[in-house]
Structure 1
Amino acid sequence: MLQLPDSPPCMKTLVSVDESYQLCRHLTAKYAKTFYLATLLMSKAKRQHIWAIYAWCRRTDELVDGPVATMTTPETLDIWELQLESIFAGRPVDSFDVALVDTLHQNPMDIQPFRDMIDGQRMDLYRSRYQTFNELYLYCYRVAGTVGLMSTAVMGVETSQNSTPWNQNKQPYIPTEEAIALGIASQLTNILRDVGEDARRGRIYIPQEDLARFNYTEQDLLKGVVDERWRALMRFQIARTRQFYAKAEKGISHLSADARLPVWAALMHYSRILKVIERNDYDVFNQRAYVPKLQKLGTLPVAWLRAQVL
């Protein structure tokens, strides 16, 4: 029976809640610059909770994509899941966990999306190809759609529309599918931006059926061939990704008022990566698509307006 490894006595003293949130903040700022900028538009409490969630997700991802990935085994992820259960039981195992325990105390949520994310990392241990988009969708849901579910619990939903006497017994709409769609869109954007980097690690996330549809081979991708077949394939992938962004947009008005601006900002910032890919003539092998900070800041007025009227 698997058990969490005992920590040495010197490791059992954990940091305070405030210190733990600062650890999570630094990690978010370091690895998710666009996302971090969006969190700064939230209230202090909400941004800290989002940092705690992101830090757990990032550390989970690092198990299969980070510096120690070569040493990660299925048992590693089993132990990580045991640590997750400990967190949900209110028993932090390490200093990052302290903030997540506090977040869960103030924002009760289901453990299943967290388990699903670990299952997504398990997929990365044994899969480097996806035959169909349905298979890829499951992966994207597990590693990113789940983040939408976790975050919605912190964001909160709009309830003022139920304040009238005839609506008092009506349950507020919870934009679950839209939250998942935003996670899917973000992950698909990551996949398109990182095609070259993933290929160098032996991974191809673009579905095999899509490669075949445009007569573009796996060997072409591994060689970084950019021709009309590749451009047509990428236009197809980008169009599909934008459909998920469009679905996600429809759920933002259902979030609590103080959460709409940061979500709009994050969505607009991240979807702009697709425009950069297009501007780079779809060459994701030799150019990394990124949005300059000034352009990100330039979208804020539009994001603010959308948060008020949409």
Structure 2
Amino acid sequence: MTDPHAYCQEKAASSGSSFYYSFMFLPPERRQAITALYAFCREVDDVVDECHDMQIAQAKLDWWRMQVAQIYDGAPEHPVGQALQQINKQFPLPREQLLEIIDGMQMDLQQTRYLDWKALQLYCYRVASVVGLLSAEIFGYTNRQTLKYAHDLGMAFQLTNIIRDVGEDARRGRIYLPIDELQRFNVPARQILDGQHSDNFRELMAFQTQRARQFYDQAFAQLPDEDRKTQRPGLVMAAIYRTLLDEIEADGFQVLDRRTSLTPLRKIWIAGRTWLRG
């Protein structure tokens, strides 16, 4: 029988994500809990990214909704569900928020374009801000203002992901950049789908980067001093992601034909330095 937490650990480690580096310094019980949450996010995200048959992907998301129900009311079959059920005793996670993450993945099945920032903001909230709110519950907080920080930090992370992955998403037929902003900067969708860089595209990406930085600044301004220590994993993640954003900008937003990334060693260095700063 698969050990649920060992499965989640392997899922997190194999992803190579910056999230993994952000909670490596946590106490064991909190690290186990956040790893289970992260593994859940990876599982449902993989449904959309790896399943090319829409009906099968829909069926898998529906199955994960049943798994969420079983976490709270029964016996989940999947190791990730089992791990979440175990950690839920110490770190109660709202059922509706786990379902909202699945709702975000559902949006990926139903649309490949977003009309404006308001429409994209709902997507970012579901797939990232909700994860931030759940993470804050696991890390611990005393001031509810910390939830505003967690919400905005999640938004900043997702915007950074969108900027980094423009080319990769376009090759899957998706453009997350709002349609009205493409029009404002005179960047036809076809140009992105064809991987054609231009000055207009760079100006569009500079605008998206400015928005992401505003959310980082907004998040940090809302983090109460008394919760700064417990919320260090988010600060670690932010340090890694902001460095990534700086690299993308310094490279002239060459995101259509490549995926900018930081080496594992650099991530560990940033993580350790940020953690020690508190």
Same fold (TM over 0.5): yes
Alpha-carbon distance between aligned partners in 2 of 1:78 and 1:295, rounded to the nearest angstrom = 39
Partner residue, 2:135: 151
Contact 1:186 / 1:270 at 8 angstroms: preserved in 2?
A: yes
Contact 1:141 / 1:183 at 8 angstroms: preserved in 2?
A: yes
Contact 1:252 / 1:264 at 8 angstroms: preserved in 2?
A: no
Alpha-carbon distance between aligned partners in 1 of 2:87 and 2:30, rounded to the nearest angstrom = 9
Contact 1:157 / 1:254 at 8 angstroms: preserved in 2?
A: no
Partner residue, 2:180: 209
Partner residue, 2:28: 44
User: Deviations 1:269-302 (Å, cap 9, x if unpaired)?
Assistant: 0121111111221110222111123332333465
Partner residue, 1:162: none
Q: Kindly provide the amino acid, as one letter, of the partner of residue 248 in structure 1.
A: A
Higher mean C-alpha deviation, range 69-78 or range 40-49? 69-78
RMSD, aligned CA: 2.0
Partner residue, 1:269: 240
- For structure 1, the residue ranges without an aligned partner over 5 or more in a row are 1-13, 159-171
Q: Kindly provide the amino acid, as one letter, of the partner of residue 201 in structure 1.
A: R
Q: CA deviation at 1:73?
A: 4.4
Higher mean C-alpha deviation, range 59-68 or range 47-56? 59-68
Matches within 5 A, 1:27-176: 27-67=11-51, 70-158=54-142, 172-176=143-147
Partner residue, 2:6: 22
Number of corresponding residues? 278
Report which of the two structures shows the higher radius of gyration computed on alpha carbons.
1
User: Deviations 1:139-191 (Å, cap 9, x if unpaired)?
Assistant: 11111111011111111114xxxxxxxxxxxxx33422221111111111111
Q: Kindly provide the amino acid, as one letter, of the partner of residue 155 in structure 1.
A: F
Partner residue, 2:230: 259
SS in 2 for 1:72: helix
Partner residue, 1:164: none
Contact 1:131 / 1:208 at 8 angstroms: preserved in 2?
A: yes
Q: Kindly provide the amino acid, as one letter, of the partner of residue 77 in structure 1.
A: L
Alpha-carbon distance between aligned partners in 1 of 2:16 and 2:127, rounded to the nearest angstrom = 15
Alpha-carbon distance between aligned partners in 2 of 1:144 and 1:274, rounded to the nearest angstrom = 17
* TM-score for the superposition, normalised by structure 2: 0.92
* TM-score for the superposition, normalised by structure 1: 0.83
Change (3 A) 1:45 1:77: same
Alpha-carbon distance between aligned partners in 2 of 1:27 and 1:254, rounded to the nearest angstrom = 33
User: Deviations 1:30-50 (Å, cap 9, x if unpaired)?
Assistant: 114321111111111101000
Partner residue, 1:200: 171
Contact 1:264 / 1:306 at 8 angstroms: preserved in 2?
A: no
Change (3 A) 1:128 1:217: same
Change (3 A) 1:35 1:255: farther
Alpha-carbon distance between aligned partners in 2 of 1:255 and 1:29, rounded to the nearest angstrom = 31
Change (3 A) 1:69 1:292: farther
Contact 1:155 / 1:255 at 8 angstroms: preserved in 2?
A: no
Percent identity of the aligned residues? Answer: 36
- For structure 2, the residue ranges without an aligned partner over 5 or more in a row are none
Q: CA deviation at 1:306?
A: 4.5
Contact 1:268 / 1:303 at 8 angstroms: preserved in 2?
A: yes
Matches within 5 A, 1:2-13: none
Contact 1:63 / 1:69 at 8 angstroms: preserved in 2?
A: no
Matched, 1:224 2:195: yes
Q: CA deviation at 1:259?
A: 2.7
Alpha-carbon distance between aligned partners in 2 of 1:247 and 1:306, rounded to the nearest angstrom = 20
Q: Kindly provide the amino acid, as one letter, of the partner of residue 269 in structure 1.
A: I
